[in-house]
Amino acid sequence: MGHETWDLIGHEETVRFLQAQIQRGTVGHAYLFTGPSGVGRRTLALRFAQALACAHPPHAGAYCGHCRVCRLYPQQAHPDLHVLHDPGGLKVETVRTVRPKLLLSPRDARVRVVLLPNVEQATPAALNALLKSLEEPPEHVVFLLTARSPEAILPTLASRCQEFPLRPVPYATLRDGLTARGFPLAQAAWLAAWAQGRPGRALRWAQQPDDWRAYVAQIQDGLQLLHAPLRERLAYAAPYRAADREAVQARLATWQALWDLWLRLHQGLSDPRGHVAGGEIMRAVARQLTLNQVLQGLQHIQQGLRLLARYGNPRLVLEGALLTWPRLQGRAPDYARAVEQLIPAAAGHEPKPVP
Ligand SMILES: [Zn+2]
């Protein structure tokens, strides 16, 4: 790790490829980084931009870490870096406002960089305006787009970009990346296991303990509901309204990860989540479920997520999933307690900087 490899966790091959382009002087005008949220699309795009713009690179493809670019790019505060983002999706006005600025020479970097995160959420009008800018980009401008997948955006837009699909980072790479940043091993192991290859997710949990606690609480809810009678399950779903779509989606996504883990354990696959804090609880639950129950549980959650994406009623979707779960005997195990000691007490826990 270090400035030479852009201080990233994972994605070494993509970094090497982009560095080689900088070294050979073959950098293009538009790039598209795809993959699941939290995998590192925006971070990678920003570090690429930093390496392109750094005033004193130690060698081509690296950045110095000290110049004005290196100080201001990570905070997205440099005047030659334009981050185009509107709540709810990019709007055409935002694209139009930035366009005249792109014609100007960069102020103190070598390039002007336009970063467009989550471009699949952009309005059609904004995408059209963007396409026009991409057709004849000024020599000194580089566009960096991020999206869930190339299929999620217009083919005409994707075809103008070099695409780099980012895959989940292997467990050991993520765990070691976290310990190198100063996290204690047990904490790094849990974060790496449950973030499932997404460094952004692991770091967000570590830096915002409330988010971490909320995720653990969803896991705990899943276990509790598995032991609960039907009336308790209905009571759990009852308060959710149409406006709670995202909250229900988040719960179902967490439970999908749970049932997916139980399926993997049933199939005899090794999974790091079964070996970090609370892992023995997960293995014990898997033993109490039959393979058929696990398959059905997973299937109903996936179906619920599909229904929610098509505007199904959040409460009914939640009920639909919960009523199909088998009921386990005895008291629910206390997963939250098994993990609580790993969660940093103070919000904004700052790990040591990377040496
Ligand atoms: Zn620099």
Tens of pLDDT along 3-48? Answer: 788 999 999 999 999 999 999 999 999 999 999 999 999 999 999 9
Helix (H), strand (E), coil (C) string for 145-160: EEECCHHHCCHHHHCC
Where does residue 258 rank: exposed (0-12), middle (13-18), buried (19+ CB within 10 A)?
Answer: buried
Which tokens belong to 334? 């206390």
Cα separation, 280 vs 274, whole angstroms: 6
In angstroms, what is the span from residue 78 Cα to ligand 1's centroid?
12
Q: What is the pLDDT of residues 102-122, one digit of tens each?
A: 988 888 778 999 999 999 999
In angstroms, what is the span from residue 240 Cα to ligand 1's centroid?
49
Q: What is the pLDDT of residues 302-331, one digit of tens each?
A: 999 999 999 889 999 999 999 999 999 999
Neighbours of 309 (CB within 10 A): 10
In angstroms, what is the span from residue 102 Cα to ligand 1's centroid?
22
Cα separation, 82 vs 112, whole angstroms: 8
Which domains does the chain possess? 3-165 (3.40.50.300), 208-340 (1.20.272)
In angstroms, what is the span from residue 55 Cα to ligand 1's centroid?
5
More confident residue, 153 or 146: 146
Q: Report, in angstroms and rounded to the nearest whole number, the Rg of the chain calculated over CA atoms.
A: 23
- Give me the mean pLDDT over the 246-259 stretch: 96
In angstroms, what is the span from residue 207 Cα to ligand 1's centroid?
26
Nearest CA-CA partner of 120 in 81, 82, 157: 157
In angstroms, what is the span from residue 151 Cα to ligand 1's centroid?
35
In angstroms, what is the span from residue 72 Cα to ligand 1's centroid?
10
Which tokens belong to 4? 């030479």
CA angle, 28 as apex, 25 and 29 as ends, to 5°? 135
**Where do the H-state alpha helices sit in the chain?**
12-24, 41-53, 68-72, 92-103, 124-135, 155-158, 171-180, 185-195, 199-207, 209-227, 230-237, 245-266, 279-288, 291-309, 314-324, 335-340
CA angle, 322 as apex, 275 and 258 as ends, to 5°? 15
In angstroms, what is the span from residue 342 Cα to ligand 1's centroid?
36
Helix or strand or coil: residue 44?
helix
In angstroms, what is the span from residue 60 Cα to ligand 1's centroid?
11
Please tell me the pTM assigned to this model.
0.90
In angstroms, what is the span from residue 172 Cα to ligand 1's centroid?
30
- Let me know: does 222 contact 258? Beta carbons within 8 Å: yes
